């Protein structure tokens, strides 16, 4: 009789497991716009984990990129202004123009930071407060919207409008030296230098989230090779005319 009761209890448990609603990990949600059927068939929890991991990685890269360029521009501003009392007066216009354009670059980073720097920790805080009452599909849709928005902002940061603004600043610096101080050689140097530095800043901006979204829409959420961590640093630089510091970065 005891064995019979055990069998009945086991059968009741199996029936309960079969009829219990699936959890967040097994729940499926509609695919994001442009997403594949394969994506829609994946568990919501797996999709959410993928987006959270990619946002965290992108924020790490964005922080390294932003911090590296802030330090670079800060050093350029301070270094050029520090040379003013040291160098001959005829060199002062180059130093002031260089410091001014560096200040514009620094201001752009302070006034217009990459959105992922704030979006990712804000969403992670949202996840910490989430409980069983929260709709998993709503949380997933929120993560998708953040990832799409931040990827679009990153693409805009490398778009034609930003390149045009960089060119305009470089041309303005060159014209100030050429027309304002009657020094066409310094004007060409200012144009080339500012254009090169600005383009380097634009093209080193992190853009991995765009590729992550392409894979996400395909439903390809498998593991990918570990990418090198974003980092920056200073190292000594010695050459035949003297020594200094070199700023290196990896994104």
Query: What pLDDT shows up at residue 250?
Result: 53
Picking from 22, 251, 40, 37, the residue whose alpha carbon sits closest to that of residue 144 is 40
10 Å CB burial of residue 113 (0-12, 13-18, 19+) is middle
Identify the DSSP state of 89.
Answer: G
pLDDT in tens, the chain (251 residues): 444 443 333 333 333 333 333 444 578 999 999 999 999 999 999 999 999 999 999 999 999 999 999 999 999 999 999 999 998 888 899 999 999 999 999 999 999 999 999 999 999 999 999 888 889 999 999 999 999 999 999 999 999 999 999 999 999 999 999 988 888 898 999 999 999 999 999 999 999 999 999 999 999 998 664 444 545 554 444 333 443 445 555 54
Instruction: List the one residue out of 21, 23, 22, 27 whose CA is nearest residue 43.
Output: 27
Angular region, 94: left φ>0, alpha ψ -120 to 50, beta rest: alpha
pTM of this structure:
0.77
Structure tokens at 116: 């992922």
Whether 250 and 232 have beta carbons less than 8 Å apart is answered as: yes
Question: Which pLDDT score is estimated for 134?
Answer: 86
Residue 85 · residue 157 · CB < 8 Å: no
Q: What is the pLDDT of residue 248?
A: 56
């Amino acid at each position: 009789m005891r064995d019979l009761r055990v069998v009945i209890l086991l059968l009741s448990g199996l029936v309960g497991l079969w009829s219990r609603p699936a959890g967040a990990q097994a729940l499926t949600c509609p695919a994001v716009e442009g997403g594949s059927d394969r994506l829609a068939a994946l568990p919501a929890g797996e999709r959410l984990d993928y987006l959270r991991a990619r946002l965290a990685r992108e924020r790490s890269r964005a922080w390294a990129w932003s911090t590296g360029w802030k330090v670079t521009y800060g050093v350029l501003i301070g270094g050029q202004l520090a040379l003013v009392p040291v160098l001959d007066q005829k060199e002062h216009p180059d130093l002031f123009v260089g410091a001014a354009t560096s200040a514009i670059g620094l201001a752009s980073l302070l006034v217009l930071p990459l959105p992922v720097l704030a979006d990712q920790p804000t969403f992670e805080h949202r996840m910490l407060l989430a409980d069983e009452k929260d709709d998993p599909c709503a949380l997933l849709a929120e993560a998708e919207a953040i990832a799409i928005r931040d990827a679009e902002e990153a693409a805009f940061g490398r778009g034609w409008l930003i390149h045009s603004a960089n060119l305009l600043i470089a041309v303005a610096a060159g014209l100030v030296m050429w027309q304002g101080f009657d020094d066409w050689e310094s004007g060409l140097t200012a144009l080339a230098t500012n254009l090169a530095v600005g383009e380097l800043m634009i093209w080193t901006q992190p853009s991995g989230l765009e590729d992550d979204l392409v894979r996400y829409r395909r439903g390809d959420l498998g593991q990918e090779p570990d990418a090198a961590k974003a980092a920056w640093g200073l190292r000594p630089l010695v050459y035949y005319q003297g020594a200094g510091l070199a700023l290196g970065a990896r994104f």
